[in-house]
Copies of this chain bind each other. A is one copy, B any other.
Amino acid sequence: MPALEIITIILFAVFAVYDYGKSHSGTRTTKEGPVIESTAELTCFLMSSVFQDVHVMIFIGFGFLMTFLKRYGFSSVGINLLLAAFGLQWGLLTQGIWHLDDGKIKVSIFKIINADFSTATVLISFGAVLGKTSPVQLLIMTILEITIFSINEHLVATVLEANDVGASMIIHAYGAYFGLAVARVLYRPGLRNGHENDGSVYHSDLFAMIGTVFLWMFWPSFNSAIADPGFTQLTAVINTYLSLAACVLSAYAISSLVEHKGKLDMVHIQNATLAGGVAVGTCADMNIGPFGAMLIGLVAGIISTLGFKYLTPILASNLGIQDTCGVHNLHGMPGILGGLAGIVAVALGKKEGGNAAMQAAALASSLGFALVGGAITGLIMKLPFWGQPPDQNCFDDSIYWEVPEEEEENEESLAHGDHSKNKAEV
């Protein structure tokens, strides 16, 4: 890990500069109250607020969403922080090399939003293998997944010129199928009958709802972050807002239909209520109308909930894909739905200058890179020297973390004087 960070910093030393190198030296030194002077400055300032919203989704949203496991909360939120913090540096580099200017990567507010975006792919894949991989394995996945992401992203955005403003295809579908391919390669027959720690307790489900609700709330910012500012951006906000709202209703309805005695299942509520944000991503800035956005959200909520109930068990038992968080249902199928909706919307002329064939090519490319890239990455991760945990230690923080003793045992440990927090170790 130290070597990795040192290499990264050296790469930054060589390649990275601020975007506004020249104008920076001319900073105003007047002290008569700050003033926004140019449109470019204003736009950057405005984007800072969007950036902070996206940042919340990456670190609180993804981090806490995965805390539902009863004994894996430290790893969920802690390794999420580690992977995202490394991934954003790596993403700045790998995305930056496609847009070198005088041989330099010019770091701007748009670049750091895109860097955050690139980490989202890794955090989605992390959900598929949650509890079954070591931090070192996951850092390897981060390096490879973001590198491949930036190739696919360049292909989709610059070569194919496809639309994917909210990244249904290039982040959600890509991240999900990449993770599922990794999970397939790392298949563990020993977990076929479940694992005692692969479940939640009451308060761990409430922690997970923090992640769910923050993702849900800020998704309009995510889907509109890189839209053309102004009315196009507002379209993305409104479409996402409405798609998510409709999705909540369908997720609740289907959850209570398929569950025993009409009860709701927390897994569905924590995840499927977000599928509308994923699925409306590609079309978010298109003129699909409030009605179109809601329809997409409604369908996304239905297929996501049904996927959790019926498809995930089949994938695990028949295809050997053990998908801890059910990312196939939250990001995979809704991501494909988003890609398909984008093809239809463009074909119907909802986006000026769009081309349905290019949209289809973008979806195919994203899935192709995900499956091939994920399989290769999985094979590398499977090499026996990355500290992969044995089956019995899966879903358990105590293999990687100092975990506080239970209440009852605590006094005993104090008598022995070991590692309580900040205590004077005399």
Enumerate chain B residues within 8 angstroms of A191, measured Cβ to Cβ.
424
A390 CB–B CB distance under 8 Å = no
Q: Would you call B312 and A233 a contact (CB within 8 A)?
A: no
Contact of A248 among B82, B246, B313, B323 (CB under 8 A): B82
A386 CB–B CB distance under 8 Å = no
Known: A46-B46, A109-B237, A249-B5. A12 touches B199 (CB 8 A): no
A382 CB–B CB distance under 8 Å = no
Interface CB pairs A-B, < 8 A, 29: A1-B256, A4-B249, A5-B249, A16-B289, A24-B232, A24-B235, A27-B352, A48-B224, A51-B237, A63-B213, A69-B421, A71-B202, A77-B213, A81-B269, A82-B249, A85-B245, A88-B241, A112-B237, A193-B423, A194-B420, A200-B404, A200-B421, A201-B404, A203-B203, A264-B401, A265-B401, A265-B419, A313-B426, A324-B422
Per-residue interface assignment for chain A, residues 28 to 56, with 1 indicating a CB less than 8 Å from any chain B CB and 0 otherwise: 11000111111111111110111111011
Q: Chain B: which residue is nearest A193 at the CB level?
A: B426
Enumerate chain B residues within 8 angstroms of A39, measured Cβ to Cβ.
35-36
Contact of A404 among B50, B199, B256 (CB under 8 A): B199
Q: Chain B: which residue is nearest A158 at the CB level?
A: B31
Enumerate chain B residues within 8 angstroms of A82, measured Cβ to Cβ.
248-249, 252
Q: Chain B: which residue is nearest A63 at the CB level?
A: B213
Q: Chain B: which residue is nearest A195 at the CB level?
A: B423
Within 8 A of B (CB), among A177-211: 191-196, 198-203, 205-207, 209-210
Q: Would you call B425 and A317 a contact (CB within 8 A)?
A: yes
Give the complex CA separation of A267 and B422 in angstroms: 8
Enumerate chain B residues within 8 angstroms of A149, measured Cβ to Cβ.
none
Enumerate chain B residues within 8 angstroms of A69, measured Cβ to Cβ.
421
Give the complex CA separation of A41 and B46 in angstroms: 12
Known: A77-B206, A202-B404, A205-B404. A9 touches B246 (CB 8 A): yes
A2 CB–B CB distance under 8 Å = yes
Q: Would you call B424 and A290 a contact (CB within 8 A)?
A: no
Q: Would you call B35 and A43 a contact (CB within 8 A)?
A: yes
Enumerate chain B residues within 8 angstroms of A43, measured Cβ to Cβ.
33-36
Q: Would you call A414 and B196 a contact (CB within 8 A)?
A: yes
